[in-house]
Structure 1
Amino acid sequence: MARGRRRRQGGPGRWIAAAVALIVVVAAAVTAVTLLRGNDDDQSDTAGPANTTFKTEYAPYVYMTLANRPTLTQIAAKTGANALHLAFAITQGDSCSVAWDGTTAIDKYKAEIKEAVDKDIDVIVSTGGANGGDVAQACGDAETTQAQLQKLVDLGVRYLDFDVEGDEREADADANSVRAEAIAALQKKYSDLKVSFTLRAASPTAADQADGAVSTAPWVAAVDAGVTIDRVNLMTMNFGGDVAANDMAAATTAAANGLHQQVQTIQGVESAEAWSMIGITPMIGANDTKGETFSLDNAKTVTQFATKNGIGMLGYWAAGRDTQCGADVATQPVANCSGVDQDPYAFASVFKAVLG
């Protein structure tokens, strides 16, 4: 007998039985994985990790620097929300330092945010937006960008949303890569950090047909960098075209159906999980695009659609607009009222039904 090697006991029959048992276990494991993930032929080459722990969130936007707004906990109570998007952490002037609306110190509302988090409100800090400075573009490299995003995490939140909109910004491959690398590094540091992308909705070509997001480039860059995506939020507003002018609810649901296909392809997930990764955010009342008004009836239709399909998040722009304008408001839209006849928080009372 060779030194250091134990003699095998039990003969070849025992080894054959063990091998058969092992094959059965492996086959069962492979079958289980296949059932969970679906056929590999259905997976996209760009498929990336998705967060598989979902809960439905109803998350209105809060314009943080709006004068005389209620506190975050008060807004959550008034709207019935279990989550809030805080808008917007953007860069200041020519620097790459983040501030609320580019003007207010990022830690000004830290105590208010902590109070909301302590009351189990899911606080989502949104960076970017249509008019704000984009941190990845302003900072220019992943390390500096990560340092600015760290300031947002230091507010005590574990959910960051990246609102990337506008043709030039969406197509900025360098900024998309920098942003993705910075987010990936943060997720390595904070395993519980959730990430979403907020993207423009394409204008429907028919009442039941739209492409989903206008551009998926920022999202795909993050997937390619290994970022775990919790949600893709579609801004269903300011569409342009006849469909939206005639029926904002039809435009919204068509865009959501288009995004559903995009999520399945890019994330490599099945239908139900794709719906749970989708957010819908309409602009209540008067939109920026002339002739487009999102009504309370539209809100009811969209809420029913979201509930039926198991959509992961329903929000709206914005809680501060969820009231009727006074007679002194001559033009629309404005930041502190909707431009339609309504009771205070009437849209909120409709949307919160998505929570069941």
Structure 2
Amino acid sequence: MSPVTARARSPFAGRRLSFARLAMSAIVAVALSGGVAAVAVLPTLPTPVDGTPTTDRWFAGYYDVTLDSGDQLARSGMTEGPGGVVLAFVVAAGDEDCTPTWGKAYTLDDAADRFQLDRRVERVRREGRPLAVSFGGAANSELALACDTVSSLADAYREVMERYGADVMDLDIEGDALDDEAATARRNAAVAQLQQERTAAGRPLDVWLTLPVAPDGLTDRGLTQITEMLNAGVNLAGVNAMTMDFNADDRSVSTSDLAIGALRQTAAQVADVWRAAGRDLPPGGAWALLGATPMIGQSDIEREVFTLDDARALETFTTQQGVARMSLWSLNRDRTCGSNYPRPKVVSTSCSGVEQAGESFAGILGADRDGTPSGRPAPQEEWPMIADDADTSPFPVWSSQSFYSAGVFVVWHGSVYVAKWWNEDGAVPDDPTLDAAASAWTYVGPVLADDVPFALPELPAGTYPDWNVDALYNQGDRVLYDGSGYEARWWSRGQRPDRSVLDRDYSPWKLIEAPAEAP
């Protein structure tokens, strides 16, 4: 996948002509014309299946975890909108360091602490939406390149999949990783091992290969990756084609036509590879083994733009053919660029570069895709609700008496919310009468059983003078209040420093986050 993150529908959309229905209609017509009761001649006919069964057709957009920040969570696209999410990308901490990280920038623990990734993933999982973790990508070192043994690589894959409770594993193999034979062998053996473990435990693991495609389909290197993974004993759920960055010579061809042509060729190739490996095609044929991932809006190639009309054309085609999976790169970019961004032809990590007029690519590409991978049912278990308790909750419990700045987290009725704007004495965070856009709060995810209780950082007594209600404080002054350190942002007197924990806008104080800042 690219390292940058840079219809009114017809009421008959998706319908196809069915010869079985025509035949049945003819029989009924003949029966009625002869005065025979129609019900006596209705035959029992199997429902025709073209491509993937509708219960197995799923949509999940890629979400670049490395672009997250606490301040962005109130408007994050990861837990909003249709379908599910493919978390991208897990890579090695270094060229020879087998530790799994998010884009080499964050450890798994960092992601949990900095932008609540574990909690947000748990929300997606509990809502029964498709969830996948993607390993690799175009940048950094895929784990198979850094882990020097099959066992260490399997351990790294297992750690990630278990942590996020995911049962869909996406392997985005491109660049140098396509040519590294030793890494390919390690990857295939590790994935086969992990898949066998999960199958034995009654927890099936779907494995998808995400590969680059050209207008004429998969490259030879991509075909080799599929063949060797099948030969290693991996039960591949499918091949996800990166229908993007074609750089075609004929500039008159639309990006959707390029993508559709590439998918036709890829379907034929996949069918050949499966047969050559001695594998039976599923009942839906090769289309049931395919996914498609366009790069929405402006692509890495300036003249290649995937518009909303392209999305509609691709969605119509994939629905007609019964393509199993639809994704997009990326959910982070699924919005119109703001007026302050003057270069829409330069790929942005946070907007599409095209005018979307209130529509989303996810809404178009995810239409009619309410299924789940392999048709697995959504979780039916009862999720425990953890009672609000100021002593054990991971964030302060919401109160109508407090002031809250944008980006502040609170707990309410066993759930975590983040403020979208400064507010006080407003509606409760889970007010069911408010539209999401009107609420000052965004639901992040549930309180988890292993959450660490919220606590302010403490400094040793005497680090700074104790705060005095009668003292006059100027910008830069530092004090201790209930064991925590605070620094004055401007002149004040008699204003308690601890208000700044929740109200970062109007409090004259700011919390000193780390003891290391003390002199």
**TM-score, normalised by the number of residues in structure 2:** 0.54
| CA separation of 1:281 and 1:58: change in aligned 2, threshold 3 A | same
After TM superposition, list the pairs within 5 Å mapping 1:168-317 onto structure 2: 168-191=176-199, 192-202=204-214, 204=215, 210-213=216-219, 215-243=222-250, 246-268=253-275, 269=281, 272-317=284-329
Equivalence for 2:106: 104
* Higher deviation after alignment, 342-351 or 55-64: 342-351
Structure 1 residue aligned with 2:174, among 143, 165, 169? 165
* Higher deviation after alignment, 265-274 or 224-233: 265-274
Distance across 2 between alignment mates of 1:143 and 1:347: 40
Structure 2 residue aligned with 1:152, among 155, 160, 181? 160
Q: 2:351 is paired with a residue of what secondary structure?
A: coil
Equivalence for 2:365: 351
Contact 1:320 1:336 in 2 (8 A): yes
| CA separation of 1:140 and 1:52: change in aligned 2, threshold 3 A | farther
Distance across 2 between alignment mates of 1:71 and 1:223: 42
* Higher deviation after alignment, 179-188 or 95-104: 95-104
Equivalence for 1:336: 350
TM-aligned CA deviation for residue 242 of structure 1: 2.4
Q: 2:108 is paired with a residue of what secondary structure?
A: coil
TM-aligned CA deviation for residue 261 of structure 1: 1.0
| CA separation of 1:283 and 1:186: change in aligned 2, threshold 3 A | same
Distance across 1 between alignment mates of 2:307 and 2:166: 33
* Higher deviation after alignment, 138-147 or 303-312: 138-147
* Higher deviation after alignment, 53-62 or 152-161: 53-62
| CA separation of 1:244 and 1:213: change in aligned 2, threshold 3 A | farther
Aligned-pair identity (%): 28
Equivalence for 1:4: none
Q: 1:200 is paired with a residue of what secondary structure?
A: strand
Contact 1:123 1:157 in 2 (8 A): yes
Distance across 1 between alignment mates of 2:54 and 2:356: 36
Which residue type is aligned with residue 161 of structure 1?
A: D
Distance across 2 between alignment mates of 1:112 and 1:153: 15
Deviations 1:256-314 (A, max 9, x none): 01110121112232683310110000000000022110011100000000000000011
Deviations 1:223-255 (A, max 9, x none): 111000112101111111224663101110111
The structure whose RCO (Cα within 8 Å, separation 6+) is larger is 1
Q: Unmatched 5+ residue regions in structure 1?
A: 1-50, 205-209
Structure 2 residue aligned with 1:119, among 123, 127, 131? 127
Equivalence for 2:30: none
Residue 65 (structure 1) aligned with residue 66 (structure 2): yes
Deviations 1:99-143 (A, max 9, x none): 111121224222321221111112100010011311001112211
Distance across 2 between alignment mates of 1:52 and 1:309: 11
Q: 2:267 is paired with a residue of what secondary structure?
A: helix
TM-aligned CA deviation for residue 144 of structure 1: 1.2
| CA separation of 1:278 and 1:244: change in aligned 2, threshold 3 A | farther
- Of Structure 1 and Structure 2, the greater helix share is in 1
- Structure number, greater radius of gyration: 2
Equivalence for 1:139: 147
Q: 2:170 is paired with a residue of what secondary structure?
A: strand
May I ask how many residue pairs the two structures share in their alignment?
A: 297
Q: 1:130 is paired with a residue of what secondary structure?
A: coil
TM-aligned CA deviation for residue 69 of structure 1: 4.4
Equivalence for 2:448: none
After TM superposition, list the pairs within 5 Å mapping 1:15-94 onto structure 2: 55-67=56-68, 68-70=71-73, 75-78=78-81, 80-81=82-83, 83-94=84-95
Which residue type is aligned with residue 172 of structure 2?
A: D
* Higher deviation after alignment, 333-342 or 259-268: 259-268
Q: How much is the aligned-residue C-alpha RMSD, in angstroms? A: 2.3
Distance across 2 between alignment mates of 1:110 and 1:244: 44
TM-aligned CA deviation for residue 328 of structure 1: 2.8
| CA separation of 1:71 and 1:104: change in aligned 2, threshold 3 A | farther
Which residue type is aligned with residue 149 of structure 1?
A: Y
TM-aligned CA deviation for residue 338 of structure 1: 0.4
TM-aligned CA deviation for residue 354 of structure 1: 3.6
TM-aligned CA deviation for residue 185 of structure 1: 0.4
**TM-score, normalised by the number of residues in structure 1:** 0.78
* Higher deviation after alignment, 320-329 or 183-192: 320-329
Distance across 1 between alignment mates of 2:106 and 2:358: 28
TM-aligned CA deviation for residue 53 of structure 1: 11
Deviations 1:27-78 (A, max 9, x none): xxxxxxxxxxxxxxxxxxxxxxxx9997001111111122344489964542
TM-aligned CA deviation for residue 194 of structure 1: 0.9
Q: 1:85 is paired with a residue of what secondary structure?
A: strand
- Of Structure 1 and Structure 2, the greater strand share is in 2
| CA separation of 1:70 and 1:245: change in aligned 2, threshold 3 A | farther
Distance across 2 between alignment mates of 1:72 and 1:327: 18
